[in-house]
Structure 1
C-alpha cells in the first residue's frame, strides 16, 4: 500500500503477535522491526533513529506499555515518537487510559488491519 523510509517498531512479548503484525505490514510494503520487551524496544528506537511509529503491547512482564510510554515521554530522544497501544484490554475505559498515558492511538486485539493501517498512515 505505502512504502516509507520510516520504520514501524513492534514491541510485544509474544512472538506470535510480532510475526502476525510483521507479516501483514510487510505485505503492505511497510518496513518493520521488532522487540520482545519494552527495554529492548526503547533501546532500538534510539539505535535505529528512523522509527516513525511504535506499535506497543500494553501488557508485558517487567516493563508494561504504560511504563514504556512514561519513559518515552520523559526522554528527549523518544518523546516525539508516536506510539499506538495494541492490547487485548478492551474493557470500558482502557482506550482512555492508554491515550492518557501518552499513546496516540488504540487498537484492540485481535487487530483490525484496516483500522491499524489508517492509524499508522496518520503518523508515518
Structure 2
C-alpha cells in the first residue's frame, strides 16, 4: 500500500515534527514550504495518499492551493487535510468549503492526525 504523504508548511519545525511522527508510523513523506511548490510536486507525482496543507502561508495560502489542486483532474482525488492554528468552528468550515477532506488544528494532536489519515485510506 502506498503510504506517501506530502507535508506543506512554511515552518520547518512543523515539517520536522510531522516527518518524525509519520516516519515512525511507516509513512514516507515529502515536504515543501510553499503552496506553489506543493502543486508542482503533486503534478510530477500524483501517488500521494494525502496532503497535509498548512492554511496560513506567504504568497499563496492553503485555501487558494486547495482550490487549485481540486480543480486539476489528475490531482482532484488526492485527499487534503487542512492544518491550521485557526481553531474556531468557522475556520474548520472554511477549510472544508475550500475543498479539504478534513481539518486538524495546531498544536497538532498526533492521534487525531493519524485517525484522520487512516480514515482517508
TM-score, with normalisation over the residues of structure 2?
0.95
Match status 1:45 vs 2:29? no
Give ranges in structure 1 of 5+ residues lacking alignment: none
Q: What is the aligned partner in structure 1 of residue 112 from structure 2?
A: 115
Q: What is the aligned partner in structure 1 of residue 98 from structure 2?
A: 101
Deviation at 1:46, TM superposition (A): 1.6
TM-score, with normalisation over the residues of structure 1?
0.93
Q: For the residues of structure 2 that align with 1:7 and 1:102, how far apart are their CA atoms?
A: 20
Which whole-Å deviations, capped at 9, do the CAs of 1:31-83 have from their partners, x for residues lacking one? 11101111111111121231110000000001100000110111111111110
Q: What is the aligned partner in structure 1 of residue 85 from structure 2?
A: 88
Q: What is the aligned partner in structure 2 of residue 23 from structure 1?
A: 20
Q: For the residues of structure 2 that align with 1:5 and 1:67, how far apart are their CA atoms?
A: 27
Task: Please identify runs of 4+ aligned residues in structure 1 that moved more than 4 A.
Answer: none
Residues 56 and 62 of structure 2 are in contact (CA less than 8 Å); yes or no, is this contact kept in structure 1?
Answer: yes
Match of 2:65 among 68, 75, 94: 68
Q: For the residues of structure 1 that align with 2:46 and 2:78, how far apart are their CA atoms?
A: 10
Q: What is the alpha-carbon root mean square deviation over aligned residues?
A: 1.0
Residues 6 and 50 of structure 1 are in contact (CA less than 8 Å); yes or no, is this contact kept in structure 2?
Answer: no
Q: For the residues of structure 2 that align with 1:9 and 1:99, how far apart are their CA atoms?
A: 18
Q: For 1:51, what is the secondary structure of its paired residue?
A: coil
